Structure 1
Amino acid sequence: MVTAGASKFGRIIWDRRRELRWSRPQLARELNTRAGLTTCDGALIYKWETGRHAPKAWLPHLLHVLGLPAGTAALLCPPATATGPSHACENDPLLGLPEAVWDRLQADTLLNMLDASGPVEPDTVRQLAHAWLISEPPQILHQRAGSRVSDSLITEVRIRTNALRRMDDYLGGLDLIAQVTRELRATVNVLREASYTEETGRQLLELAAEQAQLAGWVAADAGLNQQAKRAYTVGVHAAEAAGHRGLGGLNLGGLGYLLAATGDPEHGVVLTRSAAVGAAPYASARERAMIWDRAAWAACLAGREHEAAAALGRVEDAHDAHQPDAREEPDWLYWVCRAESLVMQGQVWTELHRPLRAVPILQAVISGYDHEHARETALYRSWLAAALLDAGEVEEAAAETTRVIDLSTGVTSDRVAKRITLLTEQLTPHTHVPAAREVLDRVREQR
């Protein structure tokens, strides 16, 4: 969609170029000289002038070369009028995936995404999903300024990222969010400040995408949903710049999962299915399993039982296709296995009020689960409690809720806290059952 702002800005470029008596190729040469690049051409100038594309990373160079005042850039995103509807700005950094060249300005954009205020609108991320599906990864420039990135630094960042991921197995989101966000910012700052080869740049961008996915997950666990959405969006951009579709799908799927879980399942369905379809040709079997798990969850929250069941079938197919020795897989897949996908099956059938399917699955998985992972065990048992209550087994549901409360002691997880609140609400109509009444009294005392 071409906005009025983009069209006006394009006309200004055209008028100014004519005043200077420059052809489009000549303007492109001036911009390449100014930016130290070779990637701008007359076709790109044409797209700017006709409003098909916004200049994005080229904008400061364009303003300088044409001698335009900085305020001209505001025309790309005019303020909404009192009588007209507001439209998403084409130059919104949340929307525009990397252009033909990844450079220092685009690293600035990643930091701007993390720092921006205001909510992340569902329509914005829906447009992001569409852009991600049709885009091509950019070329990464060798950064000429700053200290050189060494192989040892890449290794050190990867080790720290892997360690943080495993810390998430034992700590709640509030305990971990500051450290994970700090690590993500440090990686983006290296992309912004240092000198590196194209291959090193791709590795840094992949690490930033991994860290962004972890930051999104941890922020959501801490109840910081807007921060989580921004982190996932950064992850989509960084993965796209690295040319890593699996990581892009992981972040986009996480974003859809979050939208579905926070009251917007329809947009969640769009994003998770886009992630699954877009990543499928490039992702490993376990990557596909994880992304389709999220699609199943979004579909069930939207009340689409057949879609949820179909997605669960795709998960099974992906696990069947996994060959452990086929190729080396990234560390962030270490936790993906059939047992975790079975938990998702149990959650889906619980949410769809199919307790006869959900209870046996959840009981089997929980019986073999490492209870040192208190948060995950508490969450899984909370779904079992809900399924048991749905089946009319109030005493067993109360016993499971008690276990959830015991496990949650000292765990700073907003997810777990919300599950306990929901379970107590569901147990409230059953105060005539002593076990349920005991749980409710305990929760009241702890408050």
Structure 2
Amino acid sequence: MDIDEHPLAYLLHQQGWSASDYLVRLGAVHQRLGYGPIARDRKRVTRWTRGGVTPDLHAQKAMAALHGIPEQEITARPWPEWLKLACVHDRQFLSAEWTLTATIELLDRVATTGGTMDRRGFLVVTGITPVLAGAATAQPAAARAHGRRVGADTPELFEQSLAILRRQDDVLGSGQVHASARAQLRLIVTTLRTTSYTEEIGRRLHGVAAEAARICAWTAYDSGRRGLAEEYYLVGLRAAASSGDQVVTANILAFWAMLRYATGDPRGASALVADALGRAERIGSPAMNAMLYARLARAHARAGDHRASDRAVNAAFDAYDRARDCASEEEPDCVYWLNLGELHMQAGSCELDLGRPGGALRHFTAASAGLRAFDAYREEDFPRSTAIFLAREAEARMALGDLDGAVDSARRSLDHLGDLSSARGTSSLTDLRARFAGHRAVPVVRDFLAQTA
């Protein structure tokens, strides 16, 4: 299912109902609620799903009753957002209390089954603010007295394994790493449920569970399974909040923000990053700050806010300068990938989103300048990201009328992607081919399209 599919169209497809079938069922409920008969013109359903028409309040109440959704959700969420609740197979992920028992149960469920939300991409968190409010009330991790005793070496081993997984994802791609991340999460959850430990070790175990869930979320997102990714982020945030680990929490929020602005919710993405930045003083990491401001810049750019995006880009570069000045101080391992080249890539993407291809190309060029420099973008270490950014560079060159340069960047992108497993990488090239299609009459473009068909 495409992420932009209307929830009513999705429900009809899932149930195998035609528009007429649906109106018969809806009409019966509409009548039972005392609202009288409902017109059975099948075009009405088309207008609801494709024409931007909002059903009247009585029709929405009948829909809520038909799909088992509490009526108050109609006023709490706009149409058709509230109807997305009918697409969730298990609403406990959204409604469970922020207790240790609920968190471990949900961690166990996603680790064992891979989650329960729609696999093909439906996001169901329609408001980020309630999630962040829930995280603020999370029950802190506690000691456990039953089972074999484990000490500090256990979370340390998990931390080492997760650091390896992060780097394997860079080189091998998300498709191959996702299964390993799930296996690691299952092992951590088993440890949480069956061993005894102190409160401090309990916090660390919740922290590694949160990071394992984040890697599961990221690899699911990069594999094109956006709904599943959001489920992992939700559960990961629960574990992070109970751990009290500000670095793990901020990292989850930052990666979740990528998912939200990529799926049309830049405001939600900004809220996630703002929460993460609120933890910055306690973290004390200039590199983490640079990463967070880069995420904030992307969210503002997706929202079309030039000034806010530019301010955040400048803040990201300023923070990175402080990180270089404090190079002797230890930074969190989760920002190992950040360097000046990466920031230029992010800034270039912002420029592209804001319709400024000239500025985008300047940043993309700066990112790869002096490939042997310490803080240049290391293409061989990050082939998937390099492929995606080169596709964006090609888009900028195309917008500037440099078709030869655009094709050259596109070919380099294809070379870096190779056989890496990444739906995002593949999608970036598919989108680029669609853009090239309008220039098919140009020989160099025609040859590229023929060779990559």
- 1:108 partnered with 2:98: no
Deviation at 1:96, TM superposition (A): 5.6
Of residues 342, 365, 370, the one that matches 1:340 is 342
Deviation digits for residues 249-287 of structure 1, max 9, x if unmatched? 2212211211211233333333333333x3233232211
Say which SS state the counterpart of residue 85 (structure 1) adopts: helix
**Percent identical:** 27
- 1:248 partnered with 2:249: yes
Task: Describe how 1:164-313 pairs up with structure 2 within 5 A.
Answer: 164-276=165-277, 278-283=278-283, 284-313=285-314
Q: Partners in 1 of 2:98 and 2:71 — Cα distance?
A: 33
Q: Does structure 1 conserve the Cα–Cα contact (< 8 Å) formed by 2:393 and 2:406?
A: yes
Q: Does structure 2 conserve the Cα–Cα contact (< 8 Å) formed by 1:343 and 1:361?
A: yes
Say which SS state the counterpart of residue 170 (structure 1) adopts: helix
Say which SS state the counterpart of residue 337 (structure 2) adopts: coil
Of residues 44, 60, 69, the one that matches 1:80 is 69
Q: Does structure 2 conserve the Cα–Cα contact (< 8 Å) formed by 1:181 and 1:215?
A: yes
Deviation at 1:291, TM superposition (A): 1.6
Q: Does structure 1 conserve the Cα–Cα contact (< 8 Å) formed by 2:123 and 2:226?
A: no
The alpha-carbon distance between structure 1 residues 96 and 194, as it changes in their structure 2 partners (threshold 3 A), is: same
Q: Does structure 1 conserve the Cα–Cα contact (< 8 Å) formed by 2:306 and 2:354?
A: yes
- 1:127 partnered with 2:130: yes
The alpha-carbon distance between structure 1 residues 329 and 94, as it changes in their structure 2 partners (threshold 3 A), is: farther
Of residues 405, 429, 447, the one that matches 1:420 is 429
The alpha-carbon distance between structure 1 residues 221 and 139, as it changes in their structure 2 partners (threshold 3 A), is: closer
Q: Partners in 2 of 1:292 and 1:376 — Cα distance?
A: 19
Q: Does structure 2 conserve the Cα–Cα contact (< 8 Å) formed by 1:385 and 1:396?
A: yes
Task: Describe how 1:365-404 pairs up with structure 2 within 5 A.
Answer: 365-367=367-369, 368=371, 369-372=377-380, 373-404=382-413
Q: Partners in 2 of 1:149 and 1:125 — Cα distance?
A: 36
RMSD of Structure 2 on Structure 1 (CA):
2.5
The alpha-carbon distance between structure 1 residues 94 and 83, as it changes in their structure 2 partners (threshold 3 A), is: closer
Q: Partners in 1 of 2:385 and 2:73 — Cα distance?
A: 47
Of residues 359, 362, 371, the one that matches 2:361 is 359
Deviation at 1:164, TM superposition (A): 0.8
Where in structure 2 are there 5+ consecutive unaligned residues?
A: 1-66, 77-81, 86-90, 372-376
Deviation at 1:86, TM superposition (A): 7.8
Q: Partners in 1 of 2:395 and 2:97 — Cα distance?
A: 41
Say which SS state the counterpart of residue 122 (structure 1) adopts: coil
Partner of 2:61: none
Partner of 2:10: none
Deviation at 1:401, TM superposition (A): 0.8
Q: Partners in 2 of 1:246 and 1:110 — Cα distance?
A: 20
- Residue type of the partner of 2:103? Q
Deviation digits for residues 288-332 of structure 1, max 9, x if unmatched? 211221111111111111111111122123223325456433321
Say which SS state the counterpart of residue 282 (structure 2) adopts: coil
Q: Does structure 1 conserve the Cα–Cα contact (< 8 Å) formed by 2:214 and 2:252?
A: yes
The alpha-carbon distance between structure 1 residues 207 and 324, as it changes in their structure 2 partners (threshold 3 A), is: farther
Q: Does structure 2 conserve the Cα–Cα contact (< 8 Å) formed by 1:220 and 1:258?
A: yes
Deviation digits for residues 114-151 of structure 1, max 9, x if unmatched? 6333444132544212434xx26644321111221233
Q: Does structure 1 conserve the Cα–Cα contact (< 8 Å) formed by 2:357 and 2:399?
A: yes
Of residues 444, 450, 453, the one that matches 1:441 is 450
Q: Partners in 2 of 1:287 and 1:352 — Cα distance?
A: 25
Say which SS state the counterpart of residue 196 (structure 2) adopts: coil
Q: Partners in 1 of 2:220 and 2:361 — Cα distance?
A: 30
The alpha-carbon distance between structure 1 residues 321 and 97, as it changes in their structure 2 partners (threshold 3 A), is: farther
- Residue type of the partner of 1:107? I
Q: Does structure 1 conserve the Cα–Cα contact (< 8 Å) formed by 2:341 and 2:366?
A: no
- Residue type of the partner of 2:130? Q
Where in structure 1 are there 5+ consecutive unaligned residues?
A: 1-77
Q: What is the number of equivalent residue pairs in this alignment?
A: 360
Q: Partners in 1 of 2:213 and 2:138 — Cα distance?
A: 18
Deviation at 1:185, TM superposition (A): 2.3
- Residue type of the partner of 1:223? G
Say which SS state the counterpart of residue 170 (structure 2) adopts: coil
Q: Partners in 2 of 1:362 and 1:181 — Cα distance?
A: 34
The alpha-carbon distance between structure 1 residues 280 and 95, as it changes in their structure 2 partners (threshold 3 A), is: farther
Deviation digits for residues 61-110 of structure 1, max 9, x if unmatched? xxxxxxxxxxxxxxxxx942579738689x944466734xx4x4531133
Partner of 1:98: 98
Q: Does structure 1 conserve the Cα–Cα contact (< 8 Å) formed by 2:213 and 2:233?
A: yes
Deviation at 1:402, TM superposition (A): 1.5
Q: Does structure 2 conserve the Cα–Cα contact (< 8 Å) formed by 1:236 and 1:249?
A: no
Q: Does structure 2 conserve the Cα–Cα contact (< 8 Å) formed by 1:98 and 1:237?
A: yes
- Residue type of the partner of 1:351? D
Deviation at 1:410, TM superposition (A): 0.7
Partner of 2:13: none
